[in-house]
Structures are given as C-alpha cells and as structure tokens.
Amino acid sequence: MLKVARDLAGFTAGQGEILRRVFGSKHTGDLLERLREEFITGAVRQGVLTEVAEDVFNRLRAFGSYSFPKSHAAAFAVVVYQSAWLRRYHSVAFLTAILNNQPMGFWSPAVIVNDAKRHGIPVLPVNIHCSQTRCSVEGSAIRLGLEYVNGLGEASIERIEDVRSEISFADLHDFCHRTRLPRRLVQNLILAGAMDGWNADPKGSRRKLLWQLTRLRYKAEELDLILPDDGVVLPPMSHVESLSYEHTVVGMTVGEHPMELYREWLDEHGILDSAALANCEQGQIVRVGGMNVMHQAPPTAKGHHFITLEDEAGMMNIIWNRALC
C-alpha cells in the first residue's frame, strides 16, 4: 500500500503512512476525502488517468479494511510451516496437542476428530479406566481425555484418577461407591460411553447402566445399599440415540460421522456429498448437504455469509447472500 501511494501518486513516506492508518480506521471523517483528492491529484500529475487513479484508490480502501503488515504475514508463515511439518510427520501427537489446547481457530474439536479419522488415525472414546485428564497418545491412536465430558471438572477428574490408581473399577456400584461423584456426572460418563468396557454389548447396555444408577445409594450420609435386580428388561439404546447422547455430553463422537446416517436418503434425493461435489463441472447447479461447522459474516463482506459444511468425506465451502436468493 505504501509503495503504491509512493509510485502512483507521488506520496511521501509520511503521507503513505497516514493513508494506511486512515484505511485501517473506522473513524476517518473528512480526512479520507482529503487524502483521496491528494491521491488522485498526485496520480494525474504523474500521467495516470483519473479513472485509473480512482479505481486504484477504491481498491486500496477495500484492501485496507482487512490488510495486515508484512511482519504479521511472515510470523504466520513460520507457524504454518512448523504446523504443516508436525501434521505430516507427527500427526497423532500434533492433533492430540490441538485437541488439548481448545478453543483455538475456526475448527471445533469435532471437526479435528473427523479430520483425523479421514486420515486413518483412530480416535478412541473417553474411558474411565485409561483416559487421562487431557487427550493422550495411545499407540498410533488418540485417546479422548476425561475433561471432554460435560460437567467433569478438575476435582472430579482428580478423584477418578486417584481412586483407580489403587485398583480398577469392577462395576458401576464400585465406581460410584469409591468416587462418590454426583449422579449427574456419572450419568454423563455413561452417555459418553466411558463405562462401555464392562459389557459385551457396550452401547446396548448404556440404558441398563442408567437404570442401575437410579437404584444405587452411595452418598456418604446414606446406607451403602445394593438393591436386588428388579427384573426390568429395558430396550437397548439405538445407534442413533447413542451417537446423539455422545454429541450432547462430549461434543463429538468417535464413531461414524452423523451424515453417514442420512447418506442413503440423501443419495435417493440427489443431494451430493463433498467427494461428488469435487467432480462437478464449473457452473453446474447442485444440491449438497452437510453439518454446519463454520459460519462467518464479516461486516466488510457486503451481506455475504461464508459457510463450511462437513460430511464423512470432507468439507464444502459455501458463499451465501440473502439478496441473491
């Protein structure tokens, strides 16, 4: 911007700096108009057509609302290079670190987990027997940390880790009796799948564990009673129910992408996935479907919304404007 002002309009370095600051400010007033006149006058004096000078000035003004200095760009380039190298050669450790430093950037933990799975990196669910406080590297996989379970704070996690260091949890009663965690937190652990390891049919047993939880008495001031089995047979949770509850209490699922559940219906109605979209021709009118994982509507975009949809195959970038619909 400084070089354009100097070479095209004959601005001094000081004038160019004032112009840069004005373009980056929301409160310009009459100063912007005065600089515009000086810019065009200086450009015409150097043989530039008036309409060309006006066009360049307008482009500089548009650019100035979101521009940043070269030092900023260089610093970002270094971070991007380092991140790309780690992502390529140490993917599991890198993505684990990203999950442990949320929130950051545009992408939610669910998007990061889905990206890992698409690149062949297994992501293991929260587990009361082996999950640490934060996400950890487990062989060639990522193990979700206990802190991702909704409501589970530092004190509760520390209690789980201290108690299990003595001996593993045998069953739900053993866990509740030794940790004394509130029922609400135990319920969230069940719904997150953190207690699936006790049963041959893990997800089908979550409803049974929830039922057992209501019949346990384990508070310090209560008698530690184990009520006999009442013989009630509860239907297991459906696959969709399990995934839905995992999303609710963890914010993601390590199973299949939710869009996979609707893929057959979407295919029948001609709604494309991200892989099919990549093979479409320029200008072709299509319908797509996915989960909304990013939405931006910057004030300088003149009503345009920038949306990213995600499905099991990848992402789709959408530009939408109500005025064009």
Given a contact cutoff of 8 angstroms between Cβ atoms, the answer to whether 316 and 309 are in contact is yes
Q: CB under 8 Å, gap of 24 or more: what pairs does 204-213 form? A: 204/236, 204/237, 205/236, 206/236, 206/237, 206/242, 206/245, 207/234, 207/235, 207/236, 207/237, 208/234, 208/236, 209/172, 212/172, 212/173, 213/172, 213/176, 213/183, 213/186, 213/187
What is the DSSP-derived secondary structure letter of residue 261? G
Token pair for 165: 């260091």
Average pLDDT over residues 74-95: 95
Band of the pLDDT at 34, cuts 50, 70, 90? confident
Strand partners, 306: 296, 319
Rg (CA), the chain: 29
| Amino acid 87: pLDDT | 94
Helix (H) or strand (E) holding 321: strand 314-321
- Partner residues linked to 217 by β-bridges: 225
Which of helix, strand or coil describes residue 103? coil
What average pLDDT does the structure give for the chain?
87
* Residue 199 predicted with pLDDT over 90: no
Q: Burial, 201: exposed, middle or buried (Cβ in 10 Å; 0-12, 13-18, 19+)?
A: exposed
User: What is the pLDDT averaged over residues 58-83?
Assistant: 86
Report d(CA 226, CA 215) in Å as an integer. 8
Q: Look at residue 204 and tell me whether its pLDDT is greater than 60.
A: no
pTM over 0.85: no
Both tokens of 222, joined, read 């209560």
Question: Which tens digits make up the pLDDT trace of 147-160?
Answer: 999 999 999 999 99
For residue 173, which of 200, 193, 146, 198 has the smallest C-alpha distance? 198
Q: Encode 91-110: b = buried (16+ Cβ within 10 Å), e = exposed.
A: bbebbbebbeeeeeeebbbb
Out of 3-12, 112-121, 195-204, least confident range: 195-204
The two tokens of residue 152 are 């589970």
What is the rounded distance in angstroms from the CA atom of residue 29 to the CA atom of residue 111?
Answer: 43
Tell me the three-class secondary structure of 197-259, residue by residue: HHCCCCHHHHHHHHHHHHCEECCCCCCCEECCCCCCCCCCCCHHHHHHHHHHHHCCCCCCCHH
State the average pLDDT over residues 225-253: 80
Does 126 score more than 60 pLDDT? yes
Query: In degrees rounded to 5, what are phi and psi of residue 129?
Result: -85, -30
Structure tokens of 190? Answer: 């069940």
Handedness of CA 238, 243, 246, 248 (dihedral sign): negative
> Tokens 């005065």 appear where?
34
Task: Tell me the pLDDT band of 106, cut-offs 50, 70 and 90.
Answer: confident
